Structure 1
Amino acid sequence: MSAPDGPYAPPRARRSRLPWAALVLLGVPVLLAVLGPLLYGGDLAPADGALPSRPPGGQHPLGTDVLGRDVLGLVLRGGASVVGGAVAALAVGMAVGVPLGLLAAGPSRRLDEVVMRTSDVLLAFPGLLVLMTLAATGHRAWGWPVAVAGLLQVPAVARLVRGAALAPGARTVVEALRMQGHGWAYVQLRHLVRESAGPLATDAAGRFTTVLYLLASANFLGLGLPASSPDWAVLVERNRDALFLQPAAVLVPAGLLTALCVGGNLLVDRALARGRGLM
């Protein structure tokens, strides 16, 4: 007798379908971000005679926004800044946090204290408040929110790397390698980085969602990209007053942002469940 489907399916059967849902939710916005600019290379300026906030139909399958621009073209062109900014910020966090974590896990206790206490101070600052303060000083260029969002991830990344490097099994191997005459660079860069790769990969997927949320919130509040940008978060903010008149201009980019976050979280949950042997 076959196992039941639907809501009465066994937990293992339901979990086995989870990656497909996660891949679809994550894959659609990522593909739009990568291929969208190639599919739509036209001008984003309002077409002649285009009216603002018009519902879908005719030459505009998703209607027009408050400026009379084609929403479909904006959606196809707006994902690159979303995904690109999140990836760039995550790269900044990893590039700074991993070396700091390795330094903190080294033999110097004083250096460990300096790195960890500094990270404690940085963890106390709310990310969005930092971005608002940055915008108030006049630093509104796209690179500033990306750099700050990446630096805000450094304390957590450094702590993760330090914890993985100080695990009992890792420390035993480190002592053995030092007794064999291997230097600091070999131990840190060859062994400890490899030991931290698994936790870092799992954490990076969840941290991508955190960075994405932070940058999207900044753009939604007008702290990052200009109001004319096709960025999905900017589109939501720009067209929210016309939600009931032209809902597609708000719901489509908002849905893509939601799918990106939910898909990333589902994949992280799947990876963690596999690591615990639940899948």
Structure 2
Amino acid sequence: MTRWLRWTAGIVLTGVPLLLAIAGPWLVDGSPTRKRAFSSGADHPLGTDFVGRDVWQQVLLGGRTVLLVALLATALAYVVAVPWGIAAALGRRRFVDELLMRPLDVVLALPSLLLLLLLATIAPSGSLTLVGIVALLNLPGLTRIVRAAALEIGSRPAVEAMRLQGEGWWRITVGYVARSMLRTLAADLGTRFTGALYLVASASFLGVGVPPDASDWAVMVDRNRPGLFVQPWAVIAPALLIVALSVGVNLLFDRVLAARSRSDLRGAAS
């Protein structure tokens, strides 16, 4: 696939679900009406869902929750994991690293879906709870990536030279170490957001954090499965949008990083 095709595919695959998620609720005309379940007709281009609501209306209404929760959970995971991983890597005492990283290893050892269900049973339901749970599930892996990158950067001669020159902690950790790992974090961001999107969709699919009849793409996939062979668009449309968003985000991040690498190589050669 050529560069132009990758850019185009990434923009289209990302843009369509984003546009529907952001602008969709404003495009819905009036309150949803209910008719016969899994039926079709001229006034319902994609048919009706398991409770007789128009599938196209549900597609327009169902993307905002999935997108917002995934974005907020990803952002929260980075806000916590970056200082956590840097502190573990640059701590002068071995016990600091052990104290910070061993609890995360326990979380990492548990299957994500099992932990998701366990946390959902003891936490209050709601979108904010789902944001916290998804962020927590992403925290161990992301913190380990940050720690590994910070260990490599912190062992460079430049860091030791900064310490000998009396540079402060903020200048070393934020001004140099955190800044030097931006490309590593950018490479991880696309995959991390896709993982968060998968967890949010799985949680919604399992009925965690959202009502069972909510206007939500993942809920649509779950609740409309009994009518898959009667009214397939009620399942296929939201599923395709979730997949398109995941693939499109990774394509765009891959192209941005590749373009940045080529630019750096040209700058080094000149």
How high is the TM-score relative to the length of structure 1? 0.86
Q: Show the 5 A alignment for 1:257-276.
A: 257-271=242-256, 273=258
Unmatched 5+ residue regions in structure 2?
263-270
Match of 1:189 among 135, 154, 174: 174
Aligned to 2:158: 173
Asked if the contact 1:170–1:195 (Cα under 8 Å) also holds between the matched residues in 2, the reply is no
Aligned to 2:27: 39
When the two chains are superposed, the root-mean-square deviation of aligned CA atoms in Å is 2.2
- Work out the CA distance in 2 between the residues paired with 1:41 and 1:97: 42
- Work out the CA distance in 2 between the residues paired with 1:28 and 1:247: 20
- Verify: 1:140 aligned to 2:125, yes or no: yes
- Work out the CA distance in 2 between the residues paired with 1:192 and 1:87: 25
- Verify: 1:201 aligned to 2:222, yes or no: no
- Work out the CA distance in 2 between the residues paired with 1:271 and 1:95: 22
Letter in 2 for 1:98: V
In 2 relative to 1, CA 95–169 (structure 1 residues): closer, same or farther, beyond 3 Å?
Answer: closer
Asked if the contact 1:170–1:192 (Cα under 8 Å) also holds between the matched residues in 2, the reply is no
Shift of 1:78: 0.7
Aligned to 1:155: 140
Matched-pair identity in %: 46
Q: Show the 5 A alignment for 1:222-233.
A: 222-233=207-218
Match of 1:82 among 51, 66, 85: 66
In 2 relative to 1, CA 147–82 (structure 1 residues): closer, same or farther, beyond 3 Å?
Answer: same
Of the structure 1 ranges 24-33 and 131-140, higher mean CA displacement relative to structure 2 is found in 131-140
Shift of 1:232: 0.1
- Verify: 1:21 aligned to 2:6, yes or no: no
Asked if the contact 1:127–1:149 (Cα under 8 Å) also holds between the matched residues in 2, the reply is no
- Work out the CA distance in 1 between the residues paired with 2:236 and 2:116: 25
Asked if the contact 1:164–1:170 (Cα under 8 Å) also holds between the matched residues in 2, the reply is no
Shift of 1:269: 4.0
Letter in 2 for 1:159: R
Aligned to 1:128: 113
Shift of 1:258: 1.1
- Work out the CA distance in 1 between the residues paired with 2:244 and 2:185: 23
How high is the TM-score relative to the length of structure 2? 0.89
Asked if the contact 1:149–1:215 (Cα under 8 Å) also holds between the matched residues in 2, the reply is yes
Match of 1:94 among 49, 74, 78: 78
Match of 2:223 among 238, 243, 266: 238
* Deviations 1:227-253, CA, capped at 9 Å, x for gaps: 121110001111110111111111111
Q: Show the 5 A alignment for 1:29-68.
A: 29-40=17-28, 42-44=30-32, 46-47=33-34, 50-55=35-40, 57-68=41-52
* Deviations 1:36-83, CA, capped at 9 Å, x for gaps: 122226323x24xx222112x322222211111111111111100111
Asked if the contact 1:97–1:158 (Cα under 8 Å) also holds between the matched residues in 2, the reply is yes
* Deviations 1:153-185, CA, capped at 9 Å, x for gaps: 112222222222222576322222222222112
Asked if the contact 2:66–2:201 (Cα under 8 Å) also holds between the matched residues in 1, the reply is yes
- Work out the CA distance in 1 between the residues paired with 2:154 and 2:87: 18
In 2 relative to 1, CA 22–41 (structure 1 residues): closer, same or farther, beyond 3 Å?
Answer: same
